[in-house]
């Protein structure tokens, strides 16, 4: 989930996590945790005012379509780093779906799913087989074939099927970051081959941006100590 509508306003997400939590009546409700990065004091002030209500409507995209829930803000933690207009704010929000919204969503889902079709088994036709005629040669050949098959079963090791656990959220984010870097490299190669952009100019501009902005933008994510160490490792 890359973005979400909060009361109709699109918000870009830095990270997200969803799970179902059952209430006292046994109804499963959505609990959605969002991490949002905002740059600048004025945009942050507007965002804080936007999430200061008591109830929120969240709209987000799934494979089956757009999902809409009504939720309350269970927890909100914010951290700021930097100075002046370059200050960066990180907001960690936890939304809990209301019981009424969960009941309505489950009811709509049950109505939209068609009932399963009954399984129709064909009527078997029983035929009495004719008595086969066996000869000594056929019996010897069948015995040899069955013996070879049994020996093969005894010598073939059984292979256990291992079900892999789904990747954790941190690994998925890291994989997506690598894929994004590869996609950007492919784009730069195409532009360089077409003579539109020089790769050397991009590298120089990238180094300049790293020196100016890397530490400030990495502190909300990994902390100042790790950010400055990473910068030293890149020098």
Answer positive or negative: Cα dihedral of 129, 133, 138, 139.
positive
Residues sharing a CB contact under 8 Å with residue 16, sequence separation 6 or more, in sequence order: 1, 4, 32, 33, 34, 35
Asked if residue 182 is part of any domain, the answer here is: yes
Asked if residue 118 is part of any domain, the answer here is: no
Q: Which residues of the chain have pLDDT under 50?
A: none
Domain count, the chain: 2
Asked if residue 117 is part of any domain, the answer here is: no
Asked if residue 196 is part of any domain, the answer here is: yes
Each residue's pLDDT tens digit, 140-175: 555 666 667 667 666 655 566 566 777 677 666 667
Look at residue 134 in the predicted model and tell me its pLDDT. Answer: 52
Contact criterion met (CB below 8 Å) for 29 and 58: no
The residue segments making up the domain with residue 20 are: 3-112
Q: Are residues 31 and 105 in the same domain?
A: yes
Asked if residue 150 is part of any domain, the answer here is: no
Q: Are residues 23 and 91 in the same domain?
A: yes
Asked if residue 137 is part of any domain, the answer here is: no
The span from the CA of 33 to the CA of 75, in Å, is: 9
Q: Is 221 exposed, middle or buried (0-12, 13-18, 19+ CB in 10 A)?
A: middle
Look at residue 229 in the predicted model and tell me its pLDDT. Answer: 82
Q: Are residues 81 and 176 in the same domain?
A: no
> 0.75 exceeded by the pTM?
no
Final residue of a structural domain among 112, 134, 152: 112
Contact criterion met (CB below 8 Å) for 182 and 188: no
Q: Are residues 106 and 8 in the same domain?
A: yes
Q: Are residues 84 and 185 in the same domain?
A: no
Q: Are residues 107 and 178 in the same domain?
A: no
Partners of 15 in the β-ladder: 35
Q: Are residues 8 and 108 in the same domain?
A: yes
- CA torsion 97-100-106-107 (nearest 10°) is -160
Strand duo 15-22 + 88-97: pairing: unpaired
Asked if residue 164 is part of any domain, the answer here is: no
Each residue's pLDDT tens digit, 123-132: 666 666 666 5
Final residue of a structural domain among 77, 112, 147: 112
CATH of the domain at 67: 2.40.30
Asked if residue 103 is part of any domain, the answer here is: yes
Q: Are residues 93 and 173 in the same domain?
A: no
Q: Are residues 177 and 105 in the same domain?
A: no
């Amino acid at each position: 989930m890359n973005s979400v509508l909060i009361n109709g306003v699109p918000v870009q997400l830095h990270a997200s996590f969803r799970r179902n939590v059952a209430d006292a009546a046994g109804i499963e409700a959505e609990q959605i945790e969002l991490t949002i990065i905002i740059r600048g004091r004025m945009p942050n002030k507007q965002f804080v005012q936007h999430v200061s209500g008591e109830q929120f409507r969240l709209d987000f995209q799934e494979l089956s379509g757009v999902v809409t829930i009504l939720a309350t803000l269970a927890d909100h933690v914010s951290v700021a780093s930097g100075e002046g207009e370059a200050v960066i704010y990180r907001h960690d929000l936890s939304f809990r779906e209301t019981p009424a919204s969960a009941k309505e969503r489950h009811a709509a889902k049950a109505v939209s799913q068609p009932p399963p079709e009954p399984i129709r088994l064909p009527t078997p036709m029983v035929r009495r087989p004719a008595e086969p005629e066996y000869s000594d040669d056929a019996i010897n050949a069948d015995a040899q074939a069955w013996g070879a098959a049994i020996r093969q079963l005894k010598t073939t090791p059984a292979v256990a099927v291992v079900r892999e656990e789904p990747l954790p959220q941190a690994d998925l984010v890291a994989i997506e970051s690598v894929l994004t870097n590869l996609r950007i490299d492919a784009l730069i190669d195409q532009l360089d081959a077409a003579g539109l952009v020089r790769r050397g100019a991009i590298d120089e501009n990238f180094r300049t941006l790293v020196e100016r902005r890397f530490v400030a933008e990495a502190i909300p994510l990994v902390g100042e100590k790790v950010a400055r160490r990473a910068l030293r490792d890149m020098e």
